A and B are shown apart, each in its own frame.
Chain A
Amino acid sequence: MGDLLGLVAKRLGFGLLTLLVISVIIFFMVELLPGDIAQAVLGQGATEENLAALREQMGLNKPAVVRYFEWLGNALTGDFGTSIVTGERVSTIITERFINTLFLAAYAAVIAVPFAVTLGIVVALLRNTLFDRVVNVLTLTSISSPEFFLGYILILYLAVKTGMFPAISSLRPGMTFWELLDRTFLPALTLVLVVTAHMMRMTRAAIINLLASPYIEMARLKGAPPWKVIVRHALPNAWAPIINVIALNLAYLITGVVLVEVVFVYPGIGQALVDAVSKRDFPIVQSCCLIFAATFILLNLAADVAAILTNPRLRHPK
């Protein structure tokens, strides 16, 4: 167990280093964009005079490197600064958006993960049958279609033609939990369709891979029914690759939903990021990107830890 804690600590350390490098890259990428914040804020209505006044007010006259280290110094003390454009605290702007994003990701994950894993087990059981083929074709089709296209198809059939679900997921204050589930069903379903195929196919492949092993042969010979052979004997050894793929897809549910948010008008963090980039609002861009990066780092770490925990050989190394 001590090794495991050591591993976690080491990985977290590297994670922090990664975040630092990312923050440098993001800062200078934003600097490279044509135009600056003052121009983005004033738009076509900008004159030299009020551009200068606004730059002064926003503190843009300092050199970029100085501004970066000022931001970094504050960030290290847990202060992620204020939006350059609105003067609002970054934490206030992002917190609610991030909660919305997490909610949608959780909603989709709660449906998608059990669904994909179960489906993977079933198609492994019924491999090379017509059912297996049909499921494969359908899930591959859904993962190959762009998300916004899937979203539009769902809107067309489930909202416009039948009126079963609302077409846009705009949230209002004071909605009940059930209203919330109803309002966000279509974006969640879109995400489910996008991530299912990957997890399902990995489950299927990992299990089928093991079916040729001698211990599975043994289980069959002793008379265990096929479903038990798979669930009791094959699955525990197949978890490691499956968990890795699940972690990747969970990360995607948080970081890759910008298009879905736009299509369904869902106020998540992706939308905030796009808006901030268009305004060159560096503190918000930086915070959003760091959240995304941290999500990937933490979920990858969690996947490795879980893979170790599910494998006795890794849990008790000789």
Chain B
Amino acid sequence: MTKKNQELMNRLAEAARAGSISRRSFMHYSLAAGMTATAATGLWTTKAAAQAKRGGTFRWGIHDGNTSDTHDPGTYLTRVMIFLAHTHRSYLTMINGDGSLGPDLADSWEASVDASEWTFTITSNASFHSGRPVTAHDVVASLNHHRGDATTSAAKALLSDVTDIKADGDHTVVVTLTGGNADFPWLMTDYHLAICPANDDGTIDWKSGDGSGPYKIDAGEFGVQFSLSRHDGWHREGAYFDKVEIITLNDPNARQTALVTGDVDAVSLVELKTMALLQRDPNIVIHNIPSAGAITMPMHCDTAPFDNPDVRNALKLAMNRDEIIEKIAFGAATKGNDFHHSPAQPYWPDDIPQREYDPDQAKSLLKKAGAEGLSVSLSTADSVYAGAVDMAVLYAEHAKAAGIDVKVVREPNDGYYSDVWLVKPFTLVSWGARPTPDVMYTLAYKDNAAWNESRWQNERFNELLLQAKAELDDSLRAEMYREMALLARDDGGTIIPFFNNFVYANRANVGTPENLAASWENDGARAASRWWFTS
């Protein structure tokens, strides 16, 4: 190795130690500098990884917090509460940095042969911040909080297949389902299903803000900020910071300025418009993580003209996704292919051809359907996604080339999800990331789902959905999801322009693991327990 390359290697190693370079870039530059892959891997391991240091106060600026937030896990809605929940409470399972499913309160879990009964073994060394150990009874009460007639929980639909939850001793929980569900442990990562201390009457005490997560709340005000300190009895690895401060920063400019001036160490969302400018600041590291969150455009398949698959496919072909991603998402997105299954989820079929912009084919499909000169109204609102209205207008321009007249209707932001979504026949919707294809399809594509936003009824798709749900063999499941993807793509009523990336940032002195979870921003909302200060 030449002297110049040696210098480069030193700088790379320094950057790796400081956490300001990813493993992939490190390997790339190391190989360019003339190292062998084995040597570079070894160097990364010794110099960079596992350098997590304890200490410091992590000041975390999070978008979307509200004065009217509460600790009730059933009505968690804002990002601040979701991130706080992952910091001061625990779940049964968690999504690891590499996207796999890992243990949180449950050490292990196993299913009956037909996957309709799940047994979770609760770790014996977890405790609430009040000092009381976490037992199976707390888990049962916490899950039951989202069930029954009187519940106000938004997670009720998620647990609708559950028929019984019971504790078997202090450390075993048995859940019985109406049918097989191989993804059930994945469902336990849903942000509503936080474990709270049980009261004697089987309800939970959510008001006190007690939890068994890595940090305990010392003081806080909803919509403003929370101060937390490390919970020494936490049952998992990590929690390097001594203290964590969660600060509500709703204004994009305030968030960015606070990061630039060092008033916070990390922020949960970077405005895409200014991402390129922020990238120039050497003190700031930006993460651009493909997620399973999606923008969808459902068309009601039972309403003319969308009741004809040719019309639906013409509308899918009439979109120039590349231009939309470039101009609306500023490149921070993964191209959609009209099935709601993202590369960030397990079982993603990678061999399905991408649907491209093809106005000519769209025209011929319309001709075949006898729907030439098609005119449709697309309802949207700016609150759905930053740039949603612009995106609809851009799509209308693309569709013109296919002879389709798309009228963009700008709806009020307030009440969009009650008065427009599921009501108007052609809308633009934003979906948060769901952990598995089954959860997503069951929620919004199953024939009888309350949120079947495109009112799509496809017998084969629904048959496969139930089969795949109960299938414990991974390769068979993957094959079924591939077929379902093709059905959704070619017959379904939903246009999926793109899956949006999570774009967030931290100061350069914050160390982050090689893999960042894609379930939420900031490492699956778990930055507080997974990140550390390098200096």
Chain A interface (Cβ within 8 Å of chain B)?
Answer: 33-35, 39, 41-50, 53-54, 57, 83, 85-87, 93, 96, 152, 155, 159-160, 163, 166-168, 170-173, 262-265, 267, 271-272, 275-276, 278-279, 281, 284
Contacts and interface: CB of A to CB of B under 8 A. Distances in A.
B225 interface: yes
Contacts of B254: 167-168, 262-265
B261 A35 contact: no
Given A34-B415, A43-B417, A172-B227, A265 B251 contact: yes
Contacts of B227: 172-173
A63 B20 CA distance: 59
Contacts of A152: 253
Closest 3 CB pairs of A and B: A45-B154, A35-B415, A34-B415
A134 B248 CA distance: 40
A168 B152 contact: no
Contacts of A159: 257, 261
Given A50-B153, A262-B251, A160 B224 contact: no
B22 interface: no
Given A41-B77, A167-B254, A172-B227, A275 B66 contact: yes
A34 B419 contact: yes
Contact of B67 (A39, A46, A271): A271
B172 to A, nearest CB: 30
23 contacts: A33-B415, A39-B418, A41-B68, A41-B77, A44-B417, A44-B421, A45-B155, A50-B152, A50-B154, A54-B152, A87-B70, A96-B221, A155-B253, A160-B261, A166-B261, A166-B263, A168-B249, A262-B250, A265-B247, A265-B254, A265-B258, A275-B66, A276-B67
Chain B interface: which size bin?
35 or more
Contact of A34 (B69, B75, B223, B414): B414
B68 A85 contact: yes
B261 A167 contact: yes
Nearest to B218: A173
B450 A47 contact: yes
Contacts of B67: 93, 271-272, 275-276, 284
Interface of B: 66-70, 75, 77, 149-157, 219, 221-225, 227, 245, 247-251, 253-254, 257-258, 260-261, 263, 412, 414-415, 417-419, 421, 450
A262 B254 CA distance: 8
B225 A172 contact: yes
A254 to B, nearest CB: 18
A279 B415 contact: no
A44 B453 CA distance: 12
Contacts of A35: 414-415, 418-419
- Report which residue of B152, B221, B261 has the largest number of chain A beta carbons within 10 angstroms of its beta carbon: B152
A55 to B, nearest CB: 9
Nearest to A156: B257
Contacts of A276: 67-68
Contacts of A96: 221
Contacts of B412: 34
A196 B476 CA distance: 73
Contacts of B149: 49, 53
A86 B151 CA distance: 16
Given A83-B68, A167-B258, 6 more contacts: A166-B261, A173-B219, A262-B251, A265-B251, A265-B254, A278-B66
Most chain A CB inside 10 Å of its own CB: which residue of B68, B69, B150, B254:
B68
A43 B192 CA distance: 14
B74 to A, nearest CB: 8
Given A152-B253, A167-B261, A276-B68, A45 B223 contact: no
Nearest to A183: B263
Nearest to B76: A45
B263 A43 contact: no
A280 to B, nearest CB: 9
Contacts of A279: 66, 68
A189 to B, nearest CB: 16
A93 B225 CA distance: 14
Contacts of A48: 450
